[in-house]
Structure 1
Amino acid sequence: MQRILIIEDHRETREWLAGICRQAFGEPVIEEADTLARAQRLLDHDVPSLALVDLSLPDGSGLRVLERLSRQCPGTYSVVTTIFDDDQHLFRALRAGASGYLLKDQPQSSLVESLVGITGGRPPLSPGVARRILRHFHNSHGDTEPDNPLSEREEEVLTLLAKGLGRGEIADLLDMSVNTAASHTKAIYRKLNVSGRVEATLEATRLGIVNRRDEG
């Protein structure tokens, strides 16, 4: 992986991902884009061997980059780096051409290991993502699952929210940043169509999420 393009709107996260790439691949040439427009301009001039693509950008979706790379740069290895671990984002990214899907709330060492695995032919997939893919194919053969729109990580966050913990406490317990905990919380509220902790807790109880995880 001699040339890497990192598409991510947060500067600190770009620097973090660049450090992970250097640990995995030595000293590659790294280019960075904080918007969809800049990413498209960079792709007009250079073809990266690896692209790390955030799905949520200020001026559009990273899916457009994945589609362009799949169509015009088949030699580029495209990997999504995101906090979204729900089926909708995952399978839309895979359909758009992603060759891997990594969650940013993983430990840094796990992300390095996942990227190193590319050279050995192993697709970089976070463990929870791999389980979702397997579950999807099981369900396509007739299995069913509860009507629950939340990802496994979001269930963990919601369970702690229901217990009255704040975002800082949730971040510490789940080994993530406060910003990531806040992003998960917003996604939970959006998916459950609620406006606050109390409504979210009631909906989680209806779905059996809180009780199931307490028992586990």
Structure 2
Amino acid sequence: MQSALILEDQPESRDWLDGIVSEALPGIAVDAVDSLTQARCLLARTHYDLALLDISLPDGSGTDLLRQVRASHANTYVVMATIYDDDEHLFAALKDGAQGFLLKDQPRERLVEQLRGISRGEPPLSPSIARRVLRHFRHVAPSLSCTSQTGLTPREEEVLRLLANGYNRCDISLALEISGNTVAAHTKQIYRKLNVSGRAEATLQAVRLGVVDG
């Protein structure tokens, strides 16, 4: 990643996030602004690889900008950085296309590591947020078409659903209360039954089978 936009109205928080992004992604160019108006002006003339957006701002909501970025800058990786940890803000942001959701009350080193995880294909989610999202997917009713067509067990379908939504082995282990080795064993069986060789192909099959939305 070469460039990042930070939208945060509090000066201390803005500088703090600037330092975190710079530490997590060395050499990245950062523009930090305090209003939707300023952010929109920059987006009109600049492409950003990463956008870190607050939700509550003096001139509106960061979710408004989130929708704009997803519509006109599809390659920008958008992460909400906020103090709000309720379901209303979380799931609204994810529905609108946020690829990460970080709470600003975490230790600096944890936020740095979560942003570094983007390059490893790990969505940056604060632990409490990840648990809430994973519980949500865990309680989604199993797809009858999937089990009947592929022979996946209900547990394997749960694992497939989480894999297809971008979660790593550690997160799946936490959500389903099983060991990492058990997650790995289920994943191996899923790949074998779906006749795929990796997560990307498994995700496409999950969409085709209706396990997750395309």
Please state which band the TM-score falls in when normalised by the shorter chain.
0.5 to 0.7
Query: Please, what TM-score do these two structures have when normalized by structure 2?
Result: 0.64
**Count of aligned pairs:** 142
Counterpart for residue 59 of structure 1: 59
Counterpart for residue 128 of structure 1: 128
Q: C-alpha separation between the residues in 2 aligned to 1:96 and 1:40?
A: 17
1:38 aligned onto 2:35: no
**What are the equivalent positions in structure 2 for 1:68-79 lying under 5 Å apart?**
68-79=68-79
Counterpart for residue 100 of structure 2: 100
Counterpart for residue 177 of structure 1: none
Cα displacement (A) at 1:23:
0.8
Cα displacement (A) at 1:136:
1.7
Whichever residue aligns with residue 136 of structure 1, its letter is H
Cα displacement (A) at 1:32:
1.3
Query: Please, what TM-score do these two structures have when normalized by structure 1?
Result: 0.64
Q: C-alpha separation between the residues in 2 aligned to 1:17 and 1:49?
A: 16
Counterpart for residue 89 of structure 2: 89
| Corresponding residue SS for 1:32 | strand
Deviations 1:133-176 (A, max 9, x none): 1222234439xxxxxxxxxxxxxxxxxxxxxxxxxxxxxxxxxx
Q: C-alpha separation between the residues in 2 aligned to 1:44 and 1:64?
A: 15
Whichever residue aligns with residue 15 of structure 2, its letter is E
Whichever residue aligns with residue 76 of structure 1, its letter is T
Counterpart for residue 2 of structure 1: 2
| Corresponding residue SS for 1:130 | helix
| Corresponding residue SS for 1:137 | helix
Whichever residue aligns with residue 9 of structure 2, its letter is D
| Corresponding residue SS for 2:4 | strand
Deviations 1:5-56 (A, max 9, x none): 0000001111000110111111211111101111111100101100000000
Deviations 1:155-211 (A, max 9, x none): xxxxxxxxxxxxxxxxxxxxxxxxxxxxxxxxxxxxxxxxxxxxxxxxxxxxxxxxx
Cα displacement (A) at 1:97:
1.1
Whichever residue aligns with residue 105 of structure 1, its letter is D
| Corresponding residue SS for 1:31 | strand
Question: What is the CA RMSD across the aligned residues, in angstroms?
Answer: 1.2
Counterpart for residue 116 of structure 1: 116
Whichever residue aligns with residue 61 of structure 2, its letter is S
Deviations 1:63-82 (A, max 9, x none): 11110111111110000000
| Corresponding residue SS for 2:116 | helix
Percent identity for Structure 1 against Structure 2 = 50
Q: C-alpha separation between the residues in 2 aligned to 1:52 and 1:112?
A: 13
Whichever residue aligns with residue 91 of structure 2, its letter is F
| Corresponding residue SS for 1:79 | strand
Q: C-alpha separation between the residues in 2 aligned to 1:28 and 1:138?
A: 36
Whichever residue aligns with residue 54 of structure 1, its letter is D
